[in-house]
Amino acid sequence: MLSFILQRLLSLIPTLLGIVVAVFLMIHLVPGDPAQVMLGERASPQSLAELRAEMGLDQPLHVQLGRFLSGLLRGDLGRSMKTHEAISEELKWRFPATVELTLASMLFASVFGIAAGALSAVRRGSALDYAGMTASLVGVSVPIFWLGLILILLFSVKLGLFPISGRVSPDIFVPPVTGLLLVDSLLAGDVRAFGDALWHLVLPAVTLGTVPTAVIARMTRSSMLEILREDYIRTARAKGLPERSVIFKHALRNSFIPVLTVMGLEFGYLLGGAVITETIFAWPGVGRWLLLSVEARDFRAVQGGVILLSTVFVFINLVTDVLYAWLDPRIKYQ
């Protein structure tokens, strides 16, 4: 197992290098001049030329790439062209917001998706099965932006149960430790702040977690139906084991490997795909920040954000592979 992990870690080096180069080249293909955006349409050619020289945009592309890679090796993502703040500092306090939203969404998707899929498999062909699979089909089909707006209109505007936007109420301050408001409020012993942060988190988490809930439910059902036909399941029932033990100890655990694969992929997708949800709910995360950076033609900010999310996605896949052996000891890595 240790040798497999080391091999996978070494294989990440060319993968991450390829991601960095690809992101750098694609960002520079985006139309628009950052200097023009920063100075405005009425800027003189001399002012534009001076600003391009100051930001290094007048250098050949391979020179800019070399300087970027050199800074990246030192842990320096550069400074934002718009705010002139260090990109690493911007990500330092925005990334925990995205992580918190993603974890909450994934928790929602995992609990309800696995429960719905397992229940549909056990009650195959019943009205409950058809209802669960119909709901999962609707969950995959509904656009995220539409669902988010409907939830705001119904639960925030009409019923007043949840806040419309934001991460916490303006009158609440939580001393930052981890950047995760739920964790930091517990560390500070502030129950009111914890409840308020959780209150703000519900609607964005449900909105973002709807699609992965549907995907996990369908995968769980499909995998469990295959496992329930195996001989050892019939043997367990013939031995008189309780049905609960057969379902949870034998069927669900052995059907969990493909489900875990989907969960790992969905978690990575949620990290990078929270742009719409963060924009709708004014969530101060990386996704919304990247969207604003693209609109401002802030190449450096976009590069830093995409590279961070891509790196996390790659490591999530590594962790998913390692978890296979824990779930199924028969798996041997060569």
Could you report the per-residue pLDDT of 168-214, keeping only the tens digit for each? 888 888 888 888 889 999 998 889 999 999 999 999 999 998 888 98
Q: Is residue 265 pLDDT above 90, yes or no?
A: no
Residue recorded with tokens 């974890």: 103
Both tokens of 213, joined, read 């809930």
Res. 240: pLDDT tops 70: yes
The candidate with the shortest Cα–Cα distance to 105, out of 204, 217, 178, is: 204
Torsion angle (degrees, nearest 10) of CA 189, 190, 192, 197: -100
pLDDT of 58 > 90? The answer is: no
Residue 134: phi and psi, rounded to 5, are -65, -40
Please list, in sequence order, all residues whose beta carbon lies within 8 angstroms of the beta carbon of residue 197, skipping any fewer than 6 positions away.
Answer: 167, 168, 174, 181, 182, 185
- For residue 155, pLDDT beyond 80: yes
Total residues belonging to the chain: 334
- Read out DSSP for 105-138? HHHHHHHHHHHHHHHHHHTTTSHHHHHHHHHHHH
Phi, psi of 293 (to 5 degrees): -70, -40
pLDDT higher than 80, residue 133: yes
Domains of the chain: 97-282 (1.10.3720.10)
Identify the DSSP state of 266.
Answer: H
**Mean per-residue pLDDT, 17-34:** 77
Share of the chain above pLDDT 70, in %: 92
Q: How confident is residue 83, by pLDDT bands cut at 50, 70 and 90? A: confident
The pLDDT score that the predictor gives to residue 194 is 93
The mean pLDDT value for 76-91 works out to 80
Q: Does residue 1 register a pLDDT over 70?
A: no
Supply φ then ψ for residue 279, to 5 degrees. -70, -45
Q: Mapping DSSP to helix (H, G, I), strand (E, B) and coil, where does residue 79 land?
A: strand
Residue 321 near residue 7, CB atoms below 8 Å: no
What are the structure tokens assigned to 249, written together? 């100890």
**pLDDT over threshold 80, residue 154:** yes
Nearest CA to 213 out of 150, 247, 263 is that of: 263
CA distance 305 to 3: 31
Task: Reduce the DSSP state of residue 293 to 3 states and report it.
Answer: helix
Q: How far apart are CA 192 and CA 196, in angstroms?
A: 6
pLDDT confidence band for 328 (50 / 70 / 90) = low
Dist CA 112 CA 39 (whole Å) = 50
> pLDDT value at position 313?
82
Q: What is the pLDDT of residue 206?
A: 92
Confidence at residue 198, expressed as pLDDT on a 0 to 100 scale: 92
Amino acid 40: pLDDT: 67
Q: Are 174 and 187 in contact (CB under 8 A)?
A: no
Contact between residue 244 and residue 122 where contact means Cβ atoms under 8 Å apart:
no
Beta strands in 150-264, from DSSP E residues, in sequence order? none
User: pLDDT digits over 89-107, tens only?
Assistant: 888 888 999 999 999 999 9
312: closest CA among 280, 263, 252, 271?
271
Query: And the tokens for 43?
Result: 């800027």
Q: In this model, does residue 286 exceed pLDDT 90?
A: no
pTM over 0.85: no
Is 189 in a helix, a strand, or coil? coil
| 189: CB partners within 8 A, 6+ apart | none
CA distances from 19 to 13, 67, 75, 136, 309 (A): 10, 16, 16, 33, 11
Q: Enter the tokens of residue 286.
A: 């990386």
